[in-house]
């Protein structure tokens, strides 16, 4: 099932971050959108497994 992750950019901090998600516990930020996507891809399987 597809998961919804909404990201946003904080111009003051110059960071991309997870603004909203239907995955419990998902929180991440990064300097670039590509790095944030990679972090999310790495984190999500563990979070989904933990929630069961």
pLDDT digits (tens, 9 = 90+) for 18-50: 999 999 999 999 999 999 999 999 999 999 898
pTM above 0.85, yes or no: yes
Q: Give how far Cα 29 sits from Cα of 1, 20, 22, 52, Å.
A: 24, 12, 17, 24
In DSSP terms, 30 is beta-bridged to 16
Q: Classify 3 as helix, strand or coil.
A: coil
Total domains present in the chain: 1
Q: Are 3 and 44 in contact (CB under 8 A)?
A: yes
Rounded to whole angstroms, the Cα distance separating 15 from 47 reads 22
Q: Which domain holds residue 19?
A: 5-51
Instruction: State the average pLDDT over residues 5-9.
Output: 98
Least Cα distance to 17 among 5, 30, 35 occurs for: 30
> What is the CATH classification number for the domain harbouring 36?
3.30.2390.10
């Amino acid at each position: 099932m597809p998961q919804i992750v909404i990201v946003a950019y904080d111009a003051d901090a110059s960071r991309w971050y997870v603004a909203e998600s239907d995955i419990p516990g998902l929180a991440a930020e990064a300097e670039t959108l590509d790095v944030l996507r990679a972090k999310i891809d790495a984190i999500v399987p563990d979070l989904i497994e933990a929630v069961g």
